[in-house]
Structure formats: C-alpha cells, structure tokens
Amino acid sequence: MQIDAFEIKEYSDQYREQLLDVWEKSVVATHHFLTPKDFQSIKALVQTINFNEFQVYCLIWESEVAGIIGVLADKMEMLFIAPDFMGQGLGRRLMEFAIDTLKISKVDVNEQNTKSVSFYKKLGFEVYERTDQDDQGNEYPLLRMKLIKTN
C-alpha cells in the first residue's frame, strides 16, 4: 500500500459514521490512560460535534476513511488514524498537509499520550504550556505545543 494512493478529501456528512468509527478505534488503540467512564463521556461528546463547523479532512483509501484531521484557525484540533493504517506515515502526511496547506502552527496533546508527543516533536513542535486538566476539566494534563520549525 503506497502512501500516495491515499487521497485527502474535505469532510462531508457521507463520511460521518466512518469518521466516528476511526475516532473510536484510534482512541482505544492509543489512549490507554483514559478510564472507561471518561472514554464513554468523551465519546458521547464527540458524537455531538458538527464536523462542518471547522476544517475537517479525511484520508481516503479505496472509499474507506483511514484517518482524519480537524483544524480550527491555526490549531490542529484532532488527528486520528485507524489502527489498521497506523505506522505507515499517514499521520505525518496529514500533518504536513495541515502545516503546508492549512497553515496550522499549534496543537494540544494529552501528556500521557507519549507517542503522540514524540511524533509532534519530530515534526518541529515544542511545548509552550502545560495544563493540569483537559479542556473538559478531566484530570488529563494537556501539553500545548507550537510549531518552531518544519522538517
């Protein structure tokens, strides 16, 4: 499977169910620090999001959503890759698209999600602030990162 065989398409409601499925499977695979109760609470919140209210793009492989990225202003709000497609450079491809085309320069990441923290650092992001809680008030510290250099 070649990375250039994946197409980045702007979100439309036809992708909603697949997007939610990618979100859930990706979080289960990467966010081991979440309690089951918190996971269910966040899942319920995500299901209420109108993905048309900000810039969302889907990474498509043969009509299947393999990954998603969401951007609001200059900040990447979400990046999720389906577990079957992890480790193939697709997250990097979406981030490079967001940096080069959408002009993002900021991202928040859960401090406990150490693989993602390392990933963003490799892309040239650096921590400029730490919170004790996430944006919903849960005890999951966030690292606020900004782009220092592009690789």
Residues of the chain with pLDDT under 70: 1, 3, 150-151
Check: pTM over 0.85? Answer yes or no.
Answer: yes
Structural domain harbouring 61 = 3-147
Q: State the DSSP H helix or E strand holding residue 146, giving kind and residue range, or none if neither.
A: strand 142-147
How far apart are the C-alpha atoms of 40 and 34, rounded to whole Å?
Answer: 10
Q: pLDDT, tens digit, for every residue of 93-129? A: 999 999 999 999 999 999 999 999 999 999 999 999 9
Q: How far apart are CA 57 and CA 15, in angstroms?
A: 10
Nearest to 57 by CA among 34, 81, 38, 83: 81
State how far the Cα of 29 lies from the Cα of 83, in Å rounded to an integer. 7
Q: 8-33 burial by CB neighbour count: b if 16+ within 10 A, else e? A: eeebeeebbebbbebbbbbbeebbee
Total count of domains within the chain: 1
Alpha-carbon gap, residue 74 to 81, rounded angstroms: 21
| CATH code of the domain covering residue 79 | 3.40.630.30
Sheet with 106-110, strands from edge to edge, namely: 7-10, 55-61, 64-72, 75-81, 106-110, 142-147, 125-130
pLDDT value of position 151: 56
Bridge-based pairing of strands 106-110 and 64-72 is unpaired
Q: How far is CA 140 from CA 53, 114, 132, 137, in A?
A: 26, 13, 7, 8
pLDDT at 1: 60
**Euclidean distance between CA atoms 89 and 84, whole angstroms:** 12
Helix/strand/coil for 119: helix
